[in-house]
Amino acid sequence: MNSSDSLSQIEVYAFVGPAGTGKSHRATHVAKQNGIDYIIDDGLVISRGRILAGRSAKSEINRLRAIKRAIFEYPEHRDEVVSYLTNHAPKKLMILATSAGMIDKITSRLGLNAPVKTIDITEISTAEEIEAALRERREKKQHVVPVAKAQIQHNFAGKLVSQIRGFFRGRDKNEASNTIVKPLFSFNGKVTIGTDAILDTCRRLLGEGGHVKKIRELDLETYDDKIELSVEVDLTLGTQSALSIAKALQKRLHGGLSYITGMDIRKVNIRVNEIFL
């Protein structure tokens, strides 16, 4: 059985709710109710309080990288998790996410089926419990990971605050344990990347390869942590067509900016103004 066949056999469940509403705290309870042994939460594959594969988004030094880690944008991270799921082929798997859109991104990147069931945090917690969880997040900037403290110490770069027992107690001391953590991005201050820095990076990327004779326009639009870039250039062809060069530039800008800034590159538009043979 190949990778896609193995992954297609996994029954996927989604557990969604805005950040800080208590999903990770409730995850083990929800999984138990639905007969699910495996959970994907913030980049980790977890079962019975143990980390089995992946890397925690909460180990990242800034929020942008944490988001990219959580949706498996980093190839080595994604490949590790896909390999684990392929080899172990759990019958049921629950994915925690802030929205249905995030679930779609994760299932698409990991090659998993669409969820057979979506569970909203409002079905599990009362409005008062959700508000209390949000208040804790705002005031203390603490996060819950559904993993035993001993398991997460080697996977987390921030501060371990405390450990709490979950809803179920089994023979395994790790089972149903939650660890409260404070990620680096919660107390290291705000990370801001200036527009000039992004534009300078674009010019450097466009200069690679020697095909761009002149950059005529370079416009940048930002939407929260997303970037939309419009470029107008003169090209020197050499042995390649203008179309192939433009596509290569588009790919280089998209991949390079995404890697260097950690931001989501929503669109890269390339317009060729003049061609030189």
Where residue 249 sits, what CATH number does that domain have? 3.30.70.1350
The Cα–Cα gap between 142 and 164 comes to 13
The pLDDT of residue 130: 87
Mean pLDDT score across all residues of the chain = 80
Verify that 203 and 110 share a domain, yes or no.
Answer: no
Verify that 16 and 81 share a domain, yes or no.
Answer: yes
Give the H or E element holding residue 42. none
Q: Is the pLDDT of residue 119 over 90?
A: yes
The Cα–Cα gap between 101 and 106 comes to 9
What does 72-119 look like in DSSP terms, one character per residue? T-SHHHHHHHHHHHHHH--SEEEEEESSHHHHHHHHHHHTPPPPSEEE
216-238 mean pLDDT: 85
Final residue in a domain of this structure, among 140, 159, 187: 187
Range of the domain at 70: 3-187
Final residue in a domain of this structure, among 187, 218, 252: 187
Where residue 105 sits, what CATH number does that domain have? 3.40.50
167-177 mean pLDDT: 45
Confidence of residue 187 (pLDDT cuts 50, 70, 90): very low
Final residue in a domain of this structure, among 139, 163, 187: 187
Q: What is the distance, to the nearest Å, from the Cα of residue 154 to the centroid of all Cα atoms in its chain?
A: 20
Confidence of residue 105 (pLDDT cuts 50, 70, 90): very high
Q: Is the pLDDT of residue 194 over 60?
A: yes
Q: Is the pLDDT of residue 15 over 50?
A: yes
The pLDDT of residue 146: 53
Confidence of residue 165 (pLDDT cuts 50, 70, 90): very low
- Name the pTM for this structure: 0.58
Verify that 170 and 227 share a domain, yes or no.
Answer: no
The pLDDT of residue 3: 62
The pLDDT of residue 192: 66
Confidence of residue 163 (pLDDT cuts 50, 70, 90): very low
Closest CA to 167 of 31, 270, 72: 31
What does 113-148 look like in DSSP terms, one character per residue? PPPSEEEEHHHHS-HHHHHHHHHHHHHH--EEESS-
> Which is more confidently placed, 209 or 191?
209
